[in-house]
Amino acid sequence: MAGSVSLMACHECDLLLRVDHSFAEGVMKCPRCAAVLLKHKRHSLDLTLAYTITGLILFVISNAFPIIDFQFERQSTETILLSGVWELLDQDMYLLAGLVFVTTILAPFTQLVTLLYVFLPLKFNRIAPYTSEVFRFASALRSWSMMEVFMLGILVSTVKLASMGTIVPGIALWSFGILIFVLAATTSSLDPDLVWEKLGVSR
Amino acid sequence: MNDQTNTWITAAAVGLINCHSCGLLHKATPVHDYCHRCGASLHLRKPDSLSRTWAYLFAAYILYIPANVLPIMTTTSLGSVQSNTILSGVNYLLVSGSWLVALIIFIASIFVPVLKLMILSYLAISVQVRSSWHPRERARLYRLAEIMGRWSMVDIYVVTLMVALVKIQGLADIDADIGAVAFGAVVVLTMLAAMSFDPRLIWDNAEKNNE
């Protein structure tokens, strides 16, 4: 990282600041509104790439295997991530099915794929075509990916159903639990300024 | 610290536009421009921020009524049909002794959406009347509203999972109901409202009143 002092504006209050970018790790906050201005992390690029790949593997496992097996009398119902969406479609609840699909499957998956598209070439000092557009899209997706909220939903449903029958956790439940932490780690290791800096130089 | 308040200079004040997407500073031009680095559309402030925020907020307020009055799911077991609204669901959990889960659902489904609607409405009004009152605290409120809204989705996911899991032939069946659609819409609309609101407006007014 170039140990440079440059002019920047706070993205939340528009305060103009002279900022020294040359700190290795930590967070710099706006002196006026306390918004996070810069977030530096050692090995940010490597970490983000590693977490993204881990996240993708866990995502596939989380979707391929059952989350919960609900047993009642001698019947058992297995649920994978998608079966809730199918069931809602079956009941003609298209909007609800769409909302659940986007927030628990499409947005997290697209976010991971787009990050891989940006960070894998960056690792080898290359830049894939349309990287800036793709990265902008990946950042916008973040608020629509709600895996951690879905996890809480699973826990609540488990408690609700516990009185009705037997609940057996599936493989996906475990991979899902880890995925939540990996996604959080991806977000915290990602330093957007580092990416923009690399992209800015190449243009 | 307080003496410093009058020496704050914003990018806008010296004719610079901060790219909303990548944070690169640009000279403000009379014609509409795009960021030289990331290609995002450049705006001094988010376009029509207040009108858009109000539009989403009004839509959310209207849908908040059916979201709470209409049932979010219907349970059919042994021929008897029972519909539950958000509030009766919380009540059911309380009665059956799961007070912790009842509390989680109450906070996520009732407390958070109401608080978020109130915070965003207050912020929009405060900007509308050009208030310069405690901008730092209002900025903090905005950040709070932005991060907490997503947790309201819990109930939607619970309904989805219940619908998928409880399909016991001839014994019990659960259907999602129209209230859940309205509630999902409220969550999405308040998210859009928070995204359209430009926190810089809070500070623009604080500055003008200081002069």
Could you tell me if B147 lies within 8 Å of chain A, comparing CB atoms?
A: no
Q: CA-nearest residue of chain A to B183? A: A96
Collapse the DSSP code of A34 into the 3-class scheme (helix H, G, I; strand E, B; otherwise coil) and give the result: coil
- pLDDT band at residue A176, thresholds of 50, 70 and 90? very high
B37 at the A interface (CB within 8 A)? yes
Best probe of the A interface among B86, B161, B173, B178, by most A CBs < 10 A, is B161
Percentage, residues of chain A above pLDDT 70: 97
Please report residues of B whose CB lies closer than 8 A to that of A157: 157-158, 161-162, 165
Query: Is the CB of B18 less than 8 angstroms away from the CB of A164?
Result: no
pLDDT band at A1 (very low <50, low <70, confident <90, very high): very low
Mean pLDDT computed over A23-34: 88
Confidence band (pLDDT; 50, 70, 90) for A22? confident
Tens digit of each residue's pLDDT (9 = 90 or more) over A117-152? 999 999 998 888 888 889 999 988 999 999 999 999
Tokens 């810069």 belong to A38
Closest to A16 (Cα-Cα) out of B121, B124, B12: B12
CA A101 to each of CA A141, A144, A195: distance values in angstroms, whole numbers, following the listed order? 14, 11, 29
ipTM value: 0.90
What number of other Cβ atoms are within 10 A of residue B41's Cβ?
12
Residue B3's pLDDT is 46
**Would you give the distance in Å from CA B5 to the centre of its chain?**
30
> Domains of chain B (ranges plus CATH)?
1-44 (no CATH), 48-210 (1.20.140)
* Average pLDDT of chain A, as a whole number: 89
Q: What mean pLDDT comes out for the span A29-55?
A: 92
**DSSP bridge partners of B116:** none
- Asked if pLDDT for residue A3 goes beyond 60, the answer is no
| Residue among A74, A157, A158, A166 with most chain B CBs within 10 A, to mutate | A157
Answer for the pair A48, A189: CB distance below 8 angstroms, yes or no: yes
Question: Length of chain B, please?
Answer: 211
A26 versus A110: which is more confidently predicted? A110
What's the gap in Å between the CA of A35 and the closest CA on chain B? 8
pTM for the full predicted model: 0.90
A192 Cβ neighbours under 8 A, 6+ residues apart: A135, A139, B22
Nearest beta carbon to residue B154 from set A96, A153, A196? A153
First-to-last C-alpha distance (Å) of chain B: 18
Residue B208: per-residue pLDDT: 66
Each residue's pLDDT expressed in tens, for chain B with a length of 211 residues: 444 555 788 888 888 999 988 888 888 887 888 888 888 889 888 989 999 999 999 999 999 999 999 999 998 888 788 899 999 989 988 988 888 999 999 999 999 999 999 999 999 999 999 888 888 999 999 999 999 999 999 999 999 999 988 877 667 888 999 999 999 999 999 999 999 999 999 988 877 665 5
Tell me phi and psi for residue A9, to 5 degrees. Answer: -115, 140
User: How close, in Å, is residue B187 to chain A by CA atoms?
Assistant: 10
